Structure formats: C-alpha cells, structure tokens
Amino acid sequence: MTKSRRPHTLSRLRFVLFLLILPAATARAQQPFVTDDADTTPRRHFHFEFSNEFDLLQGSSFPSRKQNTADFELDYGLFDRVEIGIESPLLTIFNAPGTIPKTPSGVGDTNLSLKYNVLRERENSRMPAMAVAFNLELPTGDTKRQLGSGLADFYMNGILQKSLNRRSSCD
C-alpha cells in the first residue's frame, strides 16, 4: 500500500469504528445475534435468500412453546457497493394445549435494509473487508396473533470480514 492511499483507508476505518461505537453507548439490553458478510449485491442485480429457523421458546413466553421462522430476503444492487433489501418472515407459533389459537401462522414484521461496503478486501492486505448496514423493521405482523411486535424498530450492524486463506474466511 502506498503512503498516499494510507490516509484514505485510515479515514474509512475511523468512520466505521465511530459508527460501531456510537450506538453501543446507548444500548441497554442484549440484542439478537446477527450475522452478515461485507459483500454487496452487484449493481443492477437481484439476490434471493431463504432461511428457516426452529426455536424452543423460553418459559417466559408461555403459552407459546415453539416457533418456526421461514425467512425470505430479496436484495438489489442499487449502486456499486450499495444494496437495498426487503426481508419478510413467515411465522408459525406452537402454543400449549388448550390455547386458542393453538398454532397461529402468518407474515411477521418486515425488515427494510441498506448496506454499504466501505472497504473491499484486497489480496495480500491485512485490512479486512468492512461494511455498515442499517435496518428498519416495520410492524407488519399481527400483534393479536403474536406474529409482530406492533412497533417500528431500527438497528445498525457493523461488519468485518477477513479471508484466512484462499479457501476460507472469517465473517
């Protein structure tokens, strides 16, 4: 890396670290564990992702005992290094016997996202790839059937990704 490129890279690193530390100062509770990679969808392309998660719920969630979340995500490369996305879960909640409704199912709260790739990883560089994502959760789930929170919410996610060798990476 040449000396003329180093200040620009350090400025980006400082900016990302500032964005990561600022919201942490006001955090008051454990947030859900979120994973993502620093890559963004190529410009003018779509990316579809599906995931499914089955959870045994805590006793404090009674009469809800189990939950299945089928998650559908569609991302679009808006610009180079910038993607927007929409994510909607299909929820099924399994309640204790005698509870009405026994198995509510439907669309949960919808998440809108914007991700910016601050720095791409370069071969033979020690610097990791870096990205910042902003997410806005909209209250689209039915609160009466326990399928949504009823509240709009937002969060930011800082992402660092470093390849360990040509075949693996640490996200």
Res 48 pLDDT > 80:
yes
> What was the pLDDT predicted at 168?
64
Burial class (CB in 10 A: 0-12, 13-18, 19+), 93: buried
Highest mean pLDDT pick, 22-31, 106-115, 118-127, 145-154: 106-115
Burial class (CB in 10 A: 0-12, 13-18, 19+), 106: middle
> What was the pLDDT predicted at 30?
44
> Which residue bears the tokens 């959870």?
55
- Stretch 74-84: mean pLDDT: 96
Question: What confidence category does residue 61 fall into, taking pLDDT thresholds of 50, 70 and 90?
Answer: confident
Sign of CA dihedral 44, 86, 83, 165: negative
Q: pTM value? A: 0.72
Question: What confidence category does residue 171 fall into, taking pLDDT thresholds of 50, 70 and 90?
Answer: low
User: Quick one: which of 117, 110, 116, 123 has its CA closest to 152?
Assistant: 110
Provide the percentage of residues in the chain whose pLDDT is more than 70.
82
* Amino acid identity at 86: I
Question: What confidence category does residue 22 fall into, taking pLDDT thresholds of 50, 70 and 90?
Answer: low
- Residue ranges of the domains in the chain? 6-170
Instruction: Identify whether the C-beta of residue 11 lies closer than 8 Å to the C-beta of residue 119.
Output: no
Res 8 pLDDT > 80:
no
Q: How far apart are CA 86 and CA 48, in angstroms?
A: 10
Helical spans, DSSP H, in the chain = 6-24
